Amino acid sequence: MTTAEQRAEVEALLRRTLAAHKSMFLATAGSDGSWVSGVYFAENGLHTLELVLEERGRTLRAIKENPEVALVVSTGSPMEPFLQARGTAEVVEGAEDEAVRQRLVAKVPEVEPFLATPIRALRISVPTWRITDIVNGWLPGRDFSA
């Protein structure tokens, strides 16, 4: 298999895994210490994830202090393909806020009531993914960079 074919195979699994999941685990670190939250997300391309967080929550407070995050997209079973990454989170405003909300509701309709509460929209830039598929021998996982 050529390098281009290998990259295409990794990209295809990345796309399928992102599309198959509505939520992820998001890790942050701020002055209150480390924290992991489960959050709904929508992908906006392969290297951008979008989400909303409660305004007064610990996760958003940590991101404002330190925008570097880590995340896992997984069912929780190591025997199913899963994604890991580090990224940089930013709060978005105005028209971008509304666009994030629309993409999120399109992927995760059940999040709509949450949008009426005090929340902020965020975008996470993910420069490199680690895709692991133990069943198919991807251990260690394969990296996919922008």
In tens, the pLDDT along 13-51 reads 999 999 999 999 999 999 999 999 999 999 999 999 999
Domains identified in the chain, total number: 1
Q: What is the CATH number of the domain that holds 100?
A: 2.30.110.10
35 neighbors 28 (Cβ within 8 angstroms): yes
pLDDT, residue 64, reads 97
Residue 57 CA to residue 59 CA, distance in Å, equals 6
Which of 56-79 are b and which e, b meaning 16 or more Cβ less than 10 Å from the residue's Cβ? eeebbbbbeeebebebebbeeeee
21 neighbors 39 (Cβ within 8 angstroms): no
Q: How far is CA 116 from the centre of its chain?
A: 22
Alpha helices in the chain (DSSP H): 3-20, 58-65, 94-107
**pLDDT by residue (tens digit) across 87-133?**
999 999 999 999 999 999 999 999 999 999 999 999 999 999 999 99
Determine the structural domain holding residue 109 and report its residue range: 3-145
Q: What share of the chain is helix, strand, coil (3-state, %, to 5)?
A: 35, 45, 20
0.85 exceeded by pTM: yes
